[in-house]
Chain A
Amino acid sequence: KQEVTQIPAALSVPEGENLVLNCSFTDSAIYNLQWFRQDPGKGLTSLLLIQSSQREQTSGRLNASLDKSSGRSTLYIAASQPGDSATYLCAVRPSNAGGTSYGKLTFGQGTILTVHP
């Protein structure tokens, strides 16, 4: 059974810092990995999607890497801002024996990020 762990559970940083959020997963047979942002009581906004064959993806100040063999992904946020304060969720989508996917996401518990001015 796939298990996804996110470290740290919470992080508080001053504005302007570069920071790294970690995600690890136990089964390396993944189809892709997706990072989401969730504001309190709100829905999930997709930040980055990394296919199993990719090593990293970038969007603006965000960079996500994937090391499938070691079961790890990191989300790097450059020059953090108070508006980045939210919960960040990592989710993996498994692949099946045929290399495709039935689509179920397994989520980590999230990292609660607070960026203070």
Chain B
Amino acid sequence: EAQVTQNPRYLITVTGKKLTVTCSQNMNHEYMSWYRQDPGLGLRQIYYSMNVEVTDKGDVPEGYKVSRKEKRNFPLILESPSPNQTSLYFCASSLYRGSLGYGYTFGSGTRLTVV
């Protein structure tokens, strides 16, 4: 089944303890992206990647890191989590073929709580 898989689904951690949220897609998509969703603020892009070794900041990149060493994986790293990073996180991916437009497929989300 074509899908974007995020792990873990739920995570409670303490301030300052480094964590990684994994994201993997099996659709050979070039584009991958991370979003966070907060009440009243909607979905905001954290980082995105257009292909292997090509990443760039989105609207709210502070406090996050990403890497794209393989096409299928796009982990989100919080080096020193803080309570304001408590949120619902989504990974998404999309094909890109020149002028043809494709839609995004989203993962099921990771609910992160930082105490």
CB of B108 closer than 8 Å to a CB of A? yes
A44 to B90, CA, bound (A): 9
CB of B27 closer than 8 Å to a CB of A? no
CB of A100 closer than 8 Å to a CB of B? yes
Report whether A42 and B108 are in contact in the complex, using a CB–CB cutoff of 8 Å: yes
Asked whether A110 and B42 contact (CB < 8 A) given A34-B103, A103-B31, the answer is: yes
A36 to B90, CA, bound (A): 13
Report whether A99 and B99 are in contact in the complex, using a CB–CB cutoff of 8 Å: yes
A36 to B104, CA, bound (A): 10
Report whether A89 and B43 are in contact in the complex, using a CB–CB cutoff of 8 Å: yes
Identify whether the interface residues of B are mostly helix, strand, loop, or mixed: strand
A93 to B95, CA, bound (A): 13
Report whether A100 and B58 are in contact in the complex, using a CB–CB cutoff of 8 Å: no
B48 touches which of A43, A46, A91, A103 (Cβ 8 Å): A103
Report whether B101 and A103 are in contact in the complex, using a CB–CB cutoff of 8 Å: no
Report whether B101 and A93 are in contact in the complex, using a CB–CB cutoff of 8 Å: yes
Using Cβ atoms and an 8 Å threshold, which residues of chain B touch A49?
101-103
Which residues of B in the span 41-91 have a Cβ within 8 Å of any Cβ on A?
42-43, 45, 48, 50, 58, 88, 90
Report whether B106 and A103 are in contact in the complex, using a CB–CB cutoff of 8 Å: no
A51 to B103, CA, bound (A): 9
A49 to B104, CA, bound (A): 9
A114 to B47, CA, bound (A): 33
The 6 closest A-B pairs by CB, nearest first: A49-B103, A32-B101, A44-B106, A43-B108, A107-B43, A103-B31
Residues of B within 8 A of A (CB): 31, 33, 35, 42-43, 45, 48, 50, 58, 88, 90, 92, 94, 96, 98-99, 101-109, 111
CB-defined A-B contacts under 8 Å, sample of 27: A31-B101, A32-B102, A32-B103, A34-B104, A41-B88, A41-B109, A42-B108, A44-B92, A44-B106, A46-B103, A49-B102, A89-B43, A91-B43, A93-B104, A100-B96, A100-B99, A101-B101, A102-B48, A103-B33, A104-B33, A104-B48, A105-B33, A105-B43, A105-B92, A105-B104, A107-B42, A110-B42
